[in-house]
Amino acid sequence: MAQQPIGYKPTTKKILVISNDSTVFLSNGFVSAFEMFGGRLTEVKKLVARLNDVCDVSFAIISGEFGFIPANYVVRKYDRVPSCKEEYEELQERKDFVGQAQFICRAFDKIIVCVPKDMFAMLMPVLPKGRVIAVTNECFKEDCEKNGWTFYLRKGARVGDANADAIVKQIDEFVNSEIPIL
């Protein structure tokens, strides 16, 4: 049996982090989506690494070429990296990332969403009530509260250190809380 990090506690609670791709490609070859992207995805990758110390965490990336993919999916460098509402809508037409996210999110107890404002607006109607931690634009604060979601203000394209600290603490408390017996 593999040795787990100190402080690691196995859990049956499932955590998913969703973010989008970046124009900063770290390889010209074929590598996992996790390894491929730098830039704005760097802070999210650091958050995922920190969360991995407290629980099992899955990571999905909304890719301009491949749609909604797991971060361990092997990708190559590509030209289409959407950066505005019209490009997100075009990606939705081609790849239905919203439908894919809706289907995948069903399997998770908490979903941490770190995407741009216009992409969040597209995902919001399909995200499960009471299970989302949103790092997004201030215009969604009231919507998050109405849906029973935790809201953190997105700092430009960044998660932000204070937000990352608060999210790790919140997830640590969540995964170590008692699981209700149904």
Query: How far apart, in whole angstroms, are the C-alpha atoms of residue 126 and residue 111?
Result: 12
Q: What is the DSSP letter of 5?
A: P
The domains of the chain are located at 15-175
Q: What does the pLDDT average to over 43-70?
A: 96
pLDDT number for residue 1: 44
Query: How far apart, in whole angstroms, are the C-alpha atoms of residue 53 and residue 7?
Result: 7
User: pLDDT at residue 4 above 80?
Assistant: no
In this prediction the pTM is 0.91
Q: What is the pLDDT of residues 143-174, one digit of tens each?
A: 999 999 999 999 776 899 999 999 999 999 99
pLDDT number for residue 179: 59
The rounded mean pLDDT for the chain is 92
User: pLDDT at residue 11 above 70?
Assistant: no
What is the second-level CATH architecture of the domain 15-175? 3-Layer(aba) Sandwich (3.40)
For the chain, report the end-to-end CA distance as a whole number of angstroms: 31
Query: How far apart, in whole angstroms, are the C-alpha atoms of residue 53 and residue 176?
Result: 13
Q: What is the DSSP letter of 155?
A: B
Q: 55 and 171 in contact (C-beta within 8 Å)? A: yes
